[in-house]
Structure 1
Amino acid sequence: MTDVEEVEVVVAHQDCATLRVGEVFLKIDADQARTDVEVEAMARAPIPTPEILWREPPVLALAAVSGRALGRLGRPSTASPAAWVAAGAAVRMLHDAPLPPWPGRSPGEIEAHLDGECAWLLANGVLPADLVTRNREVAQTALRPWTPVFTHGDLQVAHVFVDGDAITGVIDWTEAAPGDALFDLATLTLGHPEHLGDVVAGYGTDVDLDVIRAWWSLRSLRAVRWLIEHGFDPSAPGCEIDVLRSRE
């Protein structure tokens, strides 16, 4: 056979898989509710998102976004400070948009999940007790009432694409929902605290940096078990466990 594109496995675990075939990404997810959220969120978002080529459940086909990821967790970002500023401005545009009509998680729901994850980390000896306890204390600052905004919900640095200093697209919208604005800012800068000032400058309004740092601890504590169970390594240099250690 000729002219057959190579298939690249971008990510694959028990929840879903993403394949790349040439300039097309195929997202395969048995939970169509997640795909419904992604499609609707991209339609509502006032910032660049991937073009939907077609949908045949359980597959969603998306056009590749131009440019490159703003960065990767565990690696220094080679993007310019101006690109990080542009990312902050894009997040502000999203947060200023009308809320999506589906519910988000309340502080109480997030706290219950966090406590369950901390209990698992301690019961299984995954992390030292003092490390978990200290970060759980830090995380409490994030668990205050907030005014919901349209959040991406999983705005990790690898999900934001840039070309030079311009944002070309934001991908992976399955967690989009009304939520805390500072959670998105914290997720974007997780593992890249040196760019927090750039992101806040682009965001264009005062933010509580202590709450962002609290979200760094909270997100990392909640992520460790999921990453381990899905074949990822949260102990890799610069990743979630290093983020937790940096709070000591």
Structure 2
Amino acid sequence: MNEVEVVVAHSERATLRIGDVFLKVDADQARIDTEVEVLSLAPVPTPQVLWRKPHVLAIAAVPGATLGRLGGPSTGSPAAWAAAGAAIRRLHDAPPPPWQGRAGRSAVALAAELDEECGALVTSGLLPADLVTRNRRIAEAALRPRTAAFTHGDLQIAHVFVDGDEVTGIIDWSEAGRGDALSDLATFTLGHEERLDDVLAGYGTDVDRDVIRAWWSLRSLLVVRWLSEHGFDPFAPGCEVDVLKSRM
């Protein structure tokens, strides 16, 4: 008999795996509806939707394996990382959906959110002030005008699967929509800076690396407190706090 594996679970959503089927349970039905629509639009390999009911989505597992995980070693050949970069470029070059995704917040909205979060990090004592101030300054480069692209919105390394040097599936699309393409690239390479050259070899070289580095700082600052409050450990080796420290 197949066992039930809890892939991720917190107060907003949970993902369970039973054999080759993933069940996504989400308190926000809109995120499920967005994911189903995006899976029909994205020009890259995606999971098959098996069925959808209120607050639950069943999708088939994709073949292959991820290229690593945040806080762990990166795996796969340079060609596999380049293939992931090429797939991400196909996504970004496609006509974007009409709605704003997670990576589509305006520079003004992001700056306000970042200021509030930085203040909370220092006031709570979760992070030292000099670490927050330095990374807040670096993050400024991400707060610039940009052309909206078709973005995944949460393109963690664990969401891209490869088999050999071929991308076999990209999962977890509930945050997708119009947004900043470089946010996707930064999320994918977060904690694996040494793989950025391989990714950009497939993506293309017309990329501002300083903006990607700025997104590393920005994303990490925005999620440290949330992760700490929801049962995750951003202080683990190689994770978000180490990313912030590497900017020092």
Relative to the length of structure 2, the TM-score reads 0.97
Moved over 2 A (4+): none
Aligned to 2:243: 243
Aligned to 2:126: 126
Aligned to 1:178: 178
1:114 aligns with 2:114: yes
SS where residue 14 of structure 2 aligns? strand
Residue 25 of structure 1: which of 22, 26, 30 is its match? 22
SS where residue 212 of structure 2 aligns? helix
Deviation at 1:71, TM superposition (A): 1.3
Deviation at 1:148, TM superposition (A): 0.5
Paired residues for 1:203-222 under 5 Å: 203-222=203-222
Aligned to 1:157: 157
Deviation at 1:101, TM superposition (A): 1.2
Computed over aligned residues only, the root mean square deviation of the Cα atoms, in angstroms, reads 0.8
Identity of aligned residues (%): 71
Give 1:50's aligned amino acid.
Answer: P
1:57 aligns with 2:57: no
Give 1:20's aligned amino acid.
Answer: R
Deviations 1:11-48 (A, max 9, x none): 11000000000000000012001111111111110000
Single out whichever of 48-57 and 98-107 deviates more from structure 2. Answer: 98-107
Residue 8 of structure 2: which of 11, 20, 24 is its match? 11
Deviations 1:58-96 (A, max 9, x none): 110000010011210011112111110000000000001
1:224 aligns with 2:224: yes
Deviation at 1:205, TM superposition (A): 3.4
Unmatched 5+ stretches in structure 1: none
**Aligned equivalents of 1:152, 1:111: Cα separation in 2:** 21
1:100 aligns with 2:76: no
Deviation at 1:130, TM superposition (A): 0.2
Aligned to 2:32: 35
Deviation at 1:5, TM superposition (A): 1.7
User: How many matched pairs?
Assistant: 245
Single out whichever of 106-115 and 136-145 deviates more from structure 2. Answer: 106-115
**Aligned equivalents of 1:51, 1:110: Cα separation in 2:** 33
Relative to the length of structure 1, the TM-score reads 0.97
Unmatched 5+ stretches in structure 2: none
